A and B are shown apart, each in its own frame.
Chain A
Amino acid sequence: MKSVGEVLKDLSNILGSKMLQTRTLQPEKICMQVQAGDHRDAIKFILKQDENAGISAITGVDLGEKIELMYHIRTHGTIITIGTEVPKKNAKIESIMDLIPGANFHEREASDLLGVVFEGHLNPKRLILPEDWPENVFPLRRDALITNVPSKMGNSESLKDVEQVSSDERLINIVLGPQHPALIEPERFSLKVDGEIVRQVEPRIGYVHRGIEKATESRTYLQDIYLVERICGICNACHAACFCQSVEAIMGVNIPPRAKYLRTIILELNRIHSHMLLLGHAGLEIGYETLFHYMWRDREPIMDMMENLTGNRVIASFITIGGVRRDLREEYIPVIKTELAKLKDKMNFYRQLFENDLTIKMRTADVQIVLGAAIAVKLFLGGPYGPVFYGSSAVWCTLWFTLKLLMVIAFTEYLTCVFARLRIDQVLSVNWKLFLPLSLLSLAAAAGVSLWLNPLWR
């Protein structure tokens, strides 16, 4: 495996004069500037070195006459940023979707927000802006007049393009969302399903796009800290840290070591409480409310620490440009240490619980199969009674029931392994074309037989 420095050296040899400029910001962050069009050569070369290289983001900046696009490529734990400029009047650039399919969404985002056309993109639909957004207004361009955009105009076009059957006859298109009981936030998924198997999915996000990037443009750096903190309340310190680090990098400021330690402490507290929140919520989702309550009870000391350290339970507002806003009070340090030691024991307990607990196993692996099999045994297989010793002791009943239950479970597992489940259209056609006429016929036959047997009609 080559180091990133070597990759960069080879890259400059291959691109030659096409490579305009390189900079190393941090050991694991490298920036380079190329002409529009040459970005594909650079990405091809990186992919040749590391086939697992992927794209983290495509970001863009409006420079006035030009738009700068930055492709952030992730390879071996390093981010290589490939920057290129396109004229704003005729903002066109070749798509890299054929090289990295994941660039699909990033390119659509850039074309929505900055108005760059990606030539060769297979599916250049909107991703973030609503369908009824005006064609030539691109919010992240500096000259965009977004105040002139009319507010929502009734039903969006996106709801009309629902096609039930795709061109491929085998696949059925099912649209999930934007409003759906299973979704916490509005998103739309266009699923192409073959029976129970999802073959393709096309997500449409952006229903809750808040335009924080645009909002930060019109505020001061100081005000922006408090805005970006609210991207997500649970992990708020991360966003503030990220923003402040960027501003400090622009300013060329080094923060004092104590501030670095304090930042680490608040970020770690954020991480711990966020993980505990998630694990507790996982318990709630599987209906294990006891776990949820205990997990969140044990999360409380962390929230208290956050409050003591920052002045607020949730939104820390602790990190600022150039350091942190408060110091840790000396007398509070032993409290943090003892609480964290207690929490460590508790987390070991939860780890044991997640690994071994019967309830979690039952509700996450082979969900509901035991209950379904038990109902089937009771309804169709004679419940707890066996062919011999009918109505005998509880021991025999338990034995018979367990035996039948295991048989049904084994049979179901076997069926799911061997056969694919029926597609919904197959089930429906059997229902309407076979079972319905058959049941009507049987009704008529039953009526005929009972009339024929009736002595009054003889």
Chain B
Amino acid sequence: MARLSPILREALAHIFKKPATQRYPEVKPKVSSGFRGKQTFNINLCISCGLCARDCPAKAIEMVDVEGKMRPLFHLDRCIFCYQCAESCPRGAIKSSEIFELASADKSDLVVKPKEEAANKVG
């Protein structure tokens, strides 16, 4: 009647096993391919159509003037990472990345500017 609980066996066996948790800050987890992380934007493919900004459910994309053309600027503090923008883009200029560590004390860090991305591409 008062048999030992089967979970006791599970708990005892676990002493000799590898922990189920990950040592997160030291060991970075590998996210799956196709993970919806921080956006990357390729300005060379952009045709300034503004579909991404129109379809964004969180209104996180702002069209800004870059050298005379309207380009999307991503406010990641508002972004819900649904990637509707990437789907709406007719040229595939918006891609997801595997960057997920986006916590910041400053909102201005959480802006993906179209110009900087272009500079990075050139550099």
Other-chain contact of A307, B5, B31, B57 (Cβ < 8 Å): B31
B5 near A357: Cβ-Cβ < 8 Å? yes
Measured between alpha carbons, how far is A275 from B10 in the docked complex, in Å? 21
A291 near B6: Cβ-Cβ < 8 Å? no
Chain B positions 33 through 75: 1 when the CB is less than 8 Å from some CB of chain A, otherwise 0: 1111000000000000000000111100000000000000000
CB distance from B44 to the nearest CB of A (A): 25
- On chain B, the residues within 8 Å of A224 by CB distance are 57
CB distance from A177 to the nearest CB of B (A): 31
Chain B positions 11 through 25: 1 when the CB is less than 8 Å from some CB of chain A, otherwise 0: 100000000100000
A311 near B5: Cβ-Cβ < 8 Å? no
A297 near B20: Cβ-Cβ < 8 Å? yes
- On chain B, the residues within 8 Å of A300 by CB distance are 20
CB distance from A143 to the nearest CB of B (A): 24
CB distance from B2 to the nearest CB of A (A): 6
B57 near A352: Cβ-Cβ < 8 Å? no
Interface status of A358 (Cβ within 8 A of chain B): yes
Measured between alpha carbons, how far is A304 from B31 in the docked complex, in Å? 9
Interface centre among A294, A317, A353 (most CB of B within 10 A): A317
Chain A positions 45 through 84: 1 when the CB is less than 8 Å from some CB of chain B, otherwise 0: 0000000000000000000000000000000000000000
With both beta carbons as reference points, the residue of chain A lying nearest to B36 in the complex is identified as A311
CB distance from A332 to the nearest CB of B (A): 9
Interface status of A312 (Cβ within 8 A of chain B): yes
B32 near A304: Cβ-Cβ < 8 Å? yes
Other-chain contact of A352, B2, B6, B58, B83 (Cβ < 8 Å): B6
Measured between alpha carbons, how far is A356 from B2 in the docked complex, in Å? 10
A294 near B57: Cβ-Cβ < 8 Å? no
Other-chain contact of A226, B7, B32, B35, B57 (Cβ < 8 Å): B57
Interface status of A35 (Cβ within 8 A of chain B): no
With both beta carbons as reference points, the residue of chain B lying nearest to A226 in the complex is identified as B57
Measured between alpha carbons, how far is A219 from B56 in the docked complex, in Å? 10
| 8 A Cβ contacts from A393-450 to B | none
- On chain B, the residues within 8 Å of A291 by CB distance are 7
Interface status of A269 (Cβ within 8 A of chain B): no
With both beta carbons as reference points, the residue of chain A lying nearest to B96 in the complex is identified as A311
With both beta carbons as reference points, the residue of chain B lying nearest to A297 in the complex is identified as B20
Other-chain contact of B11, A290, A307, A312 (Cβ < 8 Å): A290
With both beta carbons as reference points, the residue of chain B lying nearest to A325 in the complex is identified as B87
CB distance from A346 to the nearest CB of B (A): 10
Measured between alpha carbons, how far is A340 from B57 in the docked complex, in Å? 34
Measured between alpha carbons, how far is A223 from B56 in the docked complex, in Å? 7
* A307/B7 contact (C-beta < 8 A), A220-B55, A223-B55 known: no
CB distance from B89 to the nearest CB of A (A): 14
Interface status of A308 (Cβ within 8 A of chain B): yes
Interface status of B82 (Cβ within 8 A of chain A): yes
With both beta carbons as reference points, the residue of chain B lying nearest to A305 in the complex is identified as B32
Q: Could you show 23 A-B contacts with beta carbons less than 8 Å apart?
A: A220-B55, A222-B57, A223-B56, A224-B57, A225-B57, A226-B57, A291-B7, A297-B20, A307-B35, A308-B34, A311-B32, A311-B35, A311-B36, A311-B83, A312-B36, A349-B6, A352-B6, A353-B5, A353-B7, A356-B6, A358-B3, A359-B5, A359-B7
B: residues with CB less than 8 A from A are: 2-3, 5-7, 10-11, 20, 31-36, 55-58, 80-84, 87, 96
